[in-house]
Amino acid sequence: MSTIARIRWISGPVLRAVTEGVFQMREAVEVGETRLLGEVIRIEGEEIVVQVYEDTTGLKPGVEVHGSGRPLSVPLGPGLLGNIFDGLLRPLAGTGSPYVLPGLRAAPPLSFVFTPTVKPGKRLESGAVFGTAGAAANEARSQKLLIPPNQGGEVIQVAAAGSVDEDAPLLTLRGAEGKEYTVAMRHDWPVRAPRPVIEHLANDKPLLTGQRIVDSIFPVALGGRAAIPGGFGTGKTILLETLAKWCTADVIVYVGCGERGNEISGVLEEFPELEDARSGRKLMERTVIIANTSNMPVSAREASIYTGVTVAEYFRDQGLHVALMADSTSRWAEALREVSGRLGELPGEGAYPAYLSSRLAEFYERAGRVTTLSRAEGSVTIMGSISPPSGDFSEPVTSHTKRYIRSFWALDVKRAQARFYPAIHPLQSYSEDVGPLGAWWQATGNARWPELRRRFLTLLEDQARLDRMARIIGKDAMPPRQQVVLACAELVNEAFLRQSAYSPSDRYCSPERQTAMMKLLARFIEQAEAAVAEGMDPGALARLPVYRKLVRMGEDLPEEALEKYEQLATELEQAFTRVSKADAHAADR
Ligand SMILES: Nc1ncnc2c1ncn2[C@@H]1O[C@H](COP(=O)(O)OP(=O)(O)OP(=O)(O)O)[C@@H](O)[C@H]1O
Ligand SMILES: [Mg+2]
């Protein structure tokens, strides 16, 4: 017997209903004859407030709302990988389609080849692995099957190996109270509840991305949290896609929150085409996309980031490293604002509800590197883009997000306009994980990483200061020492920070190559300062052939040519020896 309530008032995706029984906060409900999916978001005495995840056209006062007695949950199983869903994991109607089939509650179960790894008599704790699921078409992508968290017991019966659907019972377990129950490939999990782990681990390993300004300057940890704020068209989506393609995660969960319908269908069309640089297959094979299009109710968009992080945790629990991209969290916050507005709540800053900040926390705080229940290491790294109106980073979504993230990659309108990509501004961005990740770089061939990184940033700061003066009095009129700063900062920008996502030789940069480039640039800076101190004309720096070679090294010296960086180092030493000789001769004459 389910509890019932009757609609008293309805506005778009939210309704108020008078209860005839007890409802729980966050309980899943079904509304009306077509059993539309909804969730209790507030309880006020005899009344519940429900947010409905489907089109509510036609609902009116008096219509029944049925309680389910369970929190809003999504089914987690091997069928997620490679597929596209809405904010509640209902599959989209077809490739590139922005529609969900109406009335569809969950993805229909898919078939996988079950291979058990346990026998009757074994005791399994919650989160333990009991077998694998392999797709007939792609054996390589076999996935671990887990006992759901909060379950466990003695194995009574195991199904035979073979092809089964995701909901078929595979194990019979006898739990602590002697009660028997079955476990299938997929299980339900409430989207707003973090999945349990044994312990959280330190953020002292990097999530490598192959992007120099990220890895070497503003790194993000495995299990870290990053934000990408950027005005309209500054490259947020391209950067997230580039990170998805090259980062060292095993699984990508991409949550797309679009305002305009075409924004998301772009991702739906492009993503399935992206090539997986590591396997040469399609990136989509190890990706789950959660898409919110403009024709879906805003409430589904509000739930989608929690659904996304729940899916990410599910793969983490299999001992995998997962990268979750949310693009853009501003569109998510707008959904929160719209629902709040319809409820007549007192608006806070920017008309967002006062709980914007705690909702952001509930999302970002689920990132982390952990020991899973099955004693494996797994992680969820969250990267969220923000689209601040008119590019103003002091607005509420950006400022509240800053409280919960550790890496901040601020996209700069001026850089983007100059087609300087990625347009991450080196002076407005930061990473709070530089300390622990510095130790990683030092142990991985770049003993001077913290120092070189600081050197680059100081140079760029000095450049920002001197640029104004240079514009007023002209570069040539500035003291030689300051001209060196300008020339070297320009070199760091062009040779290191700039990196084309479309260049076959430079779109990915390994840690070894980043280290080689960093050392060369640092050596050039040292040599340039020394040479100019001894009288060299600073204007001549940018004319040195080696300067031009350094600017082009990302493009001209690809991964396969790492040894060429040694040659360039020798050339660099000789360039300055020659310069000082030439100067000496000039002085003699
Ligand atoms: N790394 C890059 N390399 C080359 N071009 C880029 C790069 N990043 C962005 N662009 C250019 O900028 C355009 C806009 O990029 P993108 O769509 O990623 O911006 P956005 O910040 O997501 O925009 P919106 O605010 O509309 O979501 C791209 O179509 C592309 O032409
Ligand atoms: Mg975008």
CATH of the domain at 175: 2.40.50.100
Instruction: Please state the domain count of the chain.
Output: 4
- pLDDT reading at 262 higher than 60: no
Query: What angle separates helix 449-473 from helix 511-533, to the nearest 10 degrees?
Result: 50
Based on the domain organization, do 224 and 126 belong to the same domain?
A: no
Which amino acid is located at 23 in the chain?
Answer: F
In the numeric block, the tokens 């999302």 are attached to 363
pLDDT tens digits, one per residue of 464-513: 999 988 888 888 889 999 999 999 999 999 999 999 999 999 999 999 99
pLDDT tens digits, one per residue of 388-407: 988 899 999 999 999 999 99
Residues 195 and 148: their CA atoms lie apart, in Å, by 10
- pLDDT reading at 269 higher than 80: no
Q: Is 82 inside a domain boundary?
A: no
Based on the domain organization, do 257 and 385 belong to the same domain?
A: yes
Contacts for 101 with CB less than 8 Å, ≥ 6 apart: 90, 91, 93
* Ligand 1 and 230: CB distance under 6 A: yes
Q: Is 296 inside a domain boundary?
A: yes
Q: How much is the average pLDDT of 377-391?
A: 95
Q: 432, 458, 492 — which closes off a domain?
A: 432
Q: 131, 159, 188 — which closes off a domain?
A: 188
Based on the domain organization, do 463 and 544 belong to the same domain?
A: yes
Residues 250 and 143: their CA atoms lie apart, in Å, by 12
* Ligand 1 and 258: CB distance under 6 A: no
CB 332 within 8 A of CB 303: no
| Of the candidate ranges 80-94, 107-121, 448-462, 537-551, the one whose mean pLDDT is the lowest | 80-94
* Ligand 1 and 287: CB distance under 6 A: no
Q: 47, 72, 97 — which closes off a domain?
A: 72
Long-range contacts (CB closer than 8 Å, 24 or more residues apart) made by 522-526: 522/448, 522/452, 522/455, 522/456, 523/569, 523/572, 523/573, 524/488, 524/491, 524/550, 524/572, 525/455, 525/459, 525/488, 525/491
* Ligand 1 and 501: CB distance under 6 A: yes
Q: Is 444 inside a domain boundary?
A: no
Q: Is 404 inside a domain boundary?
A: yes
Q: How much is the average pLDDT of 543-570?
A: 94
Based on the domain organization, do 27 and 145 belong to the same domain?
A: no
Based on the domain organization, do 391 and 331 belong to the same domain?
A: yes
Based on the domain organization, do 467 and 348 belong to the same domain?
A: no
pLDDT tens digits, one per residue of 299-324: 888 899 999 999 999 999 999 999 99
CATH of the domain at 24: 2.40.30.20
Percent helix, strand and coil across the chain, each rounded to 5?
40, 25, 35
Categorize the per-residue pLDDT at 101 as very low, low, confident or very high, splitting at 50, 70 and 90. Answer: low
Which three-class secondary structure string do you get for 438-494?
HHHHHHCCCCCHHHHHHHHHHHHHHHHHHHHHHHHHCHHHCCHHHHHHHHHHHHHHH
Interior CA angle at 296 toward 291 and 300, to 5°? Answer: 70
How many angstroms separate the alpha carbon of residue 243 from the centre of ligand 1? 13
Q: Is 9 inside a domain boundary?
A: yes
Smallest CA-to-CA distance from 551 within 508, 487, 504 is with 487
CB 445 within 8 A of CB 515: yes
Structural domain that includes position 127? 110-188
Q: Is 93 inside a domain boundary?
A: no
Ion ligand 2: residues, CB within 5 A, are 236-237
CB 206 within 8 A of CB 215: yes
CATH of the domain at 511: 1.10.1140.10
- Pocket test of ligand 1: the residue of 232, 238, 241 to mutate, having most ligand atoms within 8 Å of its CB, is 238
CATH of the domain at 314: 3.40.50.300
DSSP 15-51: EEEEEES---TTEEEEETTTTEEEEEEEEETTEEEEE
Extract the tokens encoding 191: 């989207």
Based on the domain organization, do 408 and 469 belong to the same domain?
A: no
Q: Where are the beta strands (DSSP E) in 191-241?
A: 199-201, 225-229
DSSP 307-355: HHHHHHHHHHTTT-EEEEEEETHHHHHHHHHHHHHHTTPPP-GGG--TT
- pLDDT reading at 263 higher than 90: no
Residues 10 and 31: their CA atoms lie apart, in Å, by 12
* Ligand 1 and 421: CB distance under 6 A: yes
Based on the domain organization, do 387 and 292 belong to the same domain?
A: yes
Based on the domain organization, do 391 and 457 belong to the same domain?
A: no
* Average pLDDT taken over every residue of the chain: 91
How many angstroms separate the alpha carbon of residue 232 from the centre of ligand 1? 9
